[in-house]
Structure 1
């Protein structure tokens, strides 16, 4: 098999060779793939090699002449990331550290202390300790300020840096210096333990079950089952219906979106994905069993509901299982595949579009709720426009509608992003109030008419 730097059309300069010695592991597969396509014209292959030669020249010039010294690794990672991010807003390169952080988020569990924190006055402020965690058992309280971590001042750290220091191997210890109210600071030594990210929460609103999903990680389907069991038990057999809150949920794992939609569907398609190659298309179908036992269901969505959230909302809407209430969703209808790169982190590449059961592609369009209810609050009057998928630079175009699918209009003017994504809006939650009233009305109508709740 020929070596790249010996191919026709490349200059054998020492400078080019030095650059390609570093670039080679990343470019060799591209060149071999180009050569393996017998039908590809020789001229196209030569053009590819010329472009690789150009890259080598630019790499070596930056390496030798840039005002500050840079590492080869830094330059190569930046080049790879530039190539991927130019494709669409959701593709990119993850170095080993970022890849590790991403796995923590999707696995839903990590070694840590069990506290939700924020930053205040340069110090880490405890928002809340998580039940049955090292921090909770040690008596850490909301409002506590963490001033030192193992004797190192927190002042000057970013929140991300402080959180990274508090996470670590299960069983390892860390000393926190706590300042509480006006009392003298004191030290607390904690042993790290497995902390599960709680993505599902629930509560009863009268006899209406409220189920909030903040993200889709590996623990989400288990959380939905557990929280639904709690709601049924708390309602003592008098549950009127369920509100599924997907507002400001940025998405997550496709498998978890399918599992959550399946939990409330008896049968039928949940979602399908279509890739560049026809053979790579997939369909996901629901299995018998409805956690809500056919009770009325309302799904809350807004411009912060994206990706996996839209899969769930679209499936329940298309099957007539739930009424969607709120504002139009974000419109991210693409699927990203994480491809580990041995010893070099991973690449995140957009590999498919997904389609709701009726054949809708909501890429750059979003899902329209059945009942539009704005979240009434003072900021709404003066706010600008919310950002949606269609506003992102390089966003994929909407896939043409499937045959028989109604043609959607152009995306409406997006509005300003919610700065407190995932946090309830201050004051009364008018969307939730409307949803509760709707569920109660549907339940009352079903009971009086004797018709199925769906």
Structure 2
């Protein structure tokens, strides 16, 4: 009987020890989870206070997206959040084809500056020149738009017209051009031959990059015989 009591007591002690050992991680996890929800509650409180008390009514979507980007930026310089519109734009860029005008642009002095029109594209055919400044898109002022906003307005369905108001150095007044959008195929690889050396530059990584690189190599080989080809430089 005494042995049975001792065994029973030992079993209880073992069960208690197991409860303590196995209970600790769960408790820590619960505590961590509780702390996380406290922080999220603080975020929600600040979010509501900003919405209610800021000088000008903020855009809820922008507040949330900027908060997400802030969180990701704290991890490393390469992590960022893309909303549905940005994700679609990324898919378009990756595909390497889109309905547009065919110009490489940048932003300068709050206007869209044309770096160069791509050969055989609607912009080139309509008379857009390198160095032109686009002041209006379909009558809407470019000032106040971001470069992405302006580019998005210039893209659109194939065979649809768009009116550009252009400022050109030497022109007495703004130039009005109507350009009809078409499929723009972005060349992912540019190449040239100098002194029997093939120079290739990858301008963008798209679905067509590999094929364009192969074509560049083949075209270089056609221009320079194998016995004279010194090599390739890839940028």
Which interval holds the TM-score relative to the shorter structure? 0.7 to 0.9
1:64 — aligned with what?
48
Change beyond 3 A, Cα 1:129–1:238: farther
Q: Distance in 2 between matches of 1:76 and 1:183?
A: 47
- Aligned counterpart in structure 1 of residue 120 of structure 2, from 132, 142, 149: 132
TM-score when normalising by structure 2: 0.75
Q: Distance in 1 between matches of 2:221 and 2:23?
A: 62
Q: Within 5 A, what are the aligned runs for 1:11-410?
A: 41-66=25-50, 67-68=53-54, 69-70=57-58, 73-180=61-168, 181-246=170-235
Larger radius of gyration: 2
Measured on the aligned residues, the alpha-carbon RMSD in Å equals: 2.7
Looking at secondary structure, tell me which structure has more helix per residue.
2
Can you list the C-alpha shifts for 1:285-310, whole angstroms capped at 9, x where unaligned? Answer: xxxxxxxxxxxxxxxxxxxxxxxxxx
Moved beyond 6 Å, runs of 4+: none
Q: Distance in 1 between matches of 2:232 and 2:85?
A: 37
Change beyond 3 A, Cα 1:88–1:112: same
Change beyond 3 A, Cα 1:88–1:204: same
Can you list the C-alpha shifts for 1:381-436, whole angstroms capped at 9, x where unaligned? Answer: xxxxxxxxxxxxxxxxxxxxxxxxxxxxxxxxxxxxxxxxxxxxxxxxxxxxxxxx
8 Å contact kept, 1:232–1:239: no
TM-score when normalising by structure 1: 0.42
Change beyond 3 A, Cα 1:178–1:53: closer
Cα distance, 1:84 vs structure 2: 2.9
Can you list the C-alpha shifts for 1:103-153, whole angstroms capped at 9, x where unaligned? Answer: 233222222100112344443332221012111222222233322211122
Cα distance, 1:192 vs structure 2: 1.5
Q: Distance in 1 between matches of 2:151 and 2:215?
A: 28
Gaps (5+ residues) in structure 1? 1-37, 247-454
Q: 1:103 is paired with a residue of what secondary structure?
A: helix
Can you list the C-alpha shifts for 1:47-104, whole angstroms capped at 9, x where unaligned? Answer: 2431243134213321332332555544543443343333322222212232223223
Q: Distance in 2 between matches of 1:170 and 1:149?
A: 17
User: Which protein has greater RCO, CA pairs closer than 8 Å, 6+ apart?
Assistant: 2
Q: How many residues align?
A: 209
Q: Distance in 2 between matches of 1:197 and 1:151?
A: 27
Q: Distance in 1 between matches of 2:180 and 2:229?
A: 44
